[in-house]
Amino acid sequence: MAAQRDKAGRFLPGHKILSDGRPKIPDDVKEALRAASPEAVALLVEIMQNPREKTAYRLEAAKTILDRAYGKPAQSQDISFDVNNTADVLTQIRRVAMEQMNDRQRDSTAP
């Protein structure tokens, strides 16, 4: 279906540009996953406490437990910049955006 646009190429009112996001997880699937939660937590605790496991696995299990119990730690971002020069502001905004993207990529590839 062709997108409905005006003469300037803008979407007409009521047009949905983005989807509704991720598909919803059915309630019965959520219930099944919640029922399995105690075993999942027990497995994480077992990995964390097992001295024969690799340290990276034990640390990841501990981190997962803490993140679920207390929430992930807040991340601070230094987004201060000088607003005297508009071009400089744009450069600094791009720098901050790139730093955040690099942080996210680094976090997603961490063991």
The per-residue pLDDT for 76 is: 80
Distance in angstroms (rounded) separating the CA atoms of residues 109 and 111: 6
Q: What is the mean pLDDT of residues 71-86?
A: 72
- Between 34 and 18, the more confident residue is 34
Phi, psi of 10 (to 5 degrees): -80, 150
Token readout for 44 is 């994480």
**pLDDT band for position 95 (cuts 50, 70, 90):** confident
pTM of the model: 0.48
pLDDT tens, residue by residue, 42-55: 999 999 999 999 99
The H-or-E segment that residue 49 falls in is helix 27-49
The domain limits of the chain are 25-73, 75-111
Position 101 scores a pLDDT of: 86
Across 24-40, b (16+ Cβ under 10 Å) vs e yields eeeeeeeeeeeeeeeee
